[in-house]
């Protein structure tokens, strides 16, 4: 596989999803029953995927950190800090650095939905892209196959189709950014669709809650 050529394709597909407008509202953090004491408004949208029999989810929130810093927290260790704060992540690591803006990462999740969704693992090609005219920096990814990373005991191998996280500076406030997280994940296994559809939007809100908490904590401690 030509990783750089594949990265260009991943970035184009993710950017097209980012710019698309045919989303439907799935959930909001301000609805009853969501995270207590999380003051930021997270909106989650969805639409049918064209890549697998499921949905693409898009979650949006404004965070009190500049885009470059948010991206650093999203990337896997040691390239970034994802493994230090993401409560959903059981593992998050770089297994190959191709260049400064292109890596292969392996991640694994804890079980969720009271154990109905068991631990998953993923192997992804991750590329960082910058759009200076828009004040945006993004991570874009898609799952790939690696001979040295076969499915492991205790995990169900999932597939991340084209997606990414786009961080755009808020005009007039260099210390804030608008973050859009786009996910289309085939969790594999024999999960009922209803379980997946109910769990993923809430997990995306949890993701922003944990990310916001980490940014605030590390900001206060001078990181």
Tell me the pairing of strands 120-131 and 156-157: parallel
Average pLDDT, the chain: 89
Question: How far apart are alpha carbons 144 and 153 in whole angstroms?
Answer: 19
Supply the pLDDT for residue 34: 52
In tens, the pLDDT along 45-60 reads 999 999 998 999 999 9
In tens, the pLDDT along 14-25 reads 999 999 999 999
Does residue 126 have a pLDDT over 50?
yes
Report the chain's terminal Cα–Cα distance, integer Å: 37
In tens, the pLDDT along 88-117 reads 889 999 999 999 999 999 999 988 766 678
**Which of 33-37, 182-186, 197-201 reaches the highest mean pLDDT?**
182-186
CB 188, CB 120: distance < 8 Å = yes
Supply the pLDDT for residue 33: 53
Confidence class for position 202, pLDDT limits 50, 70, 90? confident
Phi-psi region of 135 (alpha: psi -120 to 50; beta: other; left: phi over 0): left
CB 49, CB 161: distance < 8 Å = yes
Mean pLDDT over 134-157 rounds to 94
Percent of the chain whose predicted confidence (pLDDT) is above 70: 92
H helices of 20-103, in order, are 67-74, 82-85
3-class secondary structure, 18: helix
The pTM for the full model equals 0.91
Mean pLDDT over 57-81 rounds to 93
Does residue 63 have a pLDDT over 90?
yes
- Cis peptide leading into 78, omega within 30 of 0? yes
CB 21, CB 58: distance < 8 Å = no
Looking at residue 133, the DSSP 8-state letter turns out to be: G
Supply the pLDDT for residue 45: 96
């Amino acid at each position: 596989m030509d990783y750089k050529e594949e990265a260009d394709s991943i970035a184009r597909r993710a950017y097209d999803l980012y710019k698309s407008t045919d989303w439907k509202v799935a959930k909001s953090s301000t609805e009853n029953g969501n995270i207590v004491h999380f003051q930021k408004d997270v909106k989650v949208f969805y639409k049918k995927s064209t890549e697998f029999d499921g949905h693409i989810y898009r979650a949006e929130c404004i965070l009190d950190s500049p885009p470059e810093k948010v991206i650093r927290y999203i990337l896997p260790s040691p390239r970034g800090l994802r493994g230090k704060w993401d409560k959903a992540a059981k593992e998050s690591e770089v297994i190959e650095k191709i260049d400064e803006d292109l890596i292969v990462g392996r991640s694994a999740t804890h079980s969720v939905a009271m154990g109905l969704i068991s631990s998953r693992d993923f192997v992804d090609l991750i590329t960082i892209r910058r759009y200076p005219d828009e004040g945006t920096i993004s991570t874009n990814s898609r799952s790939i196959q690696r001979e040295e990373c076969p499915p492991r005991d205790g995990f169900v191998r999932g597939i991340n189709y084209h997606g990414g996280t786009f961080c755009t500076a808020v005009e007039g406030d260099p210390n804030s950014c608008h973050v859009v997280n786009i996910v289309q994940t085939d969790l594999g296994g024999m999960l009922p669709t209803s379980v997946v559809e109910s769990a993923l939007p809430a997990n995306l809100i949890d993701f922003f809650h944990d990310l916001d908490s980490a940014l605030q904590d590390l900001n206060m401690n001078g990181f």
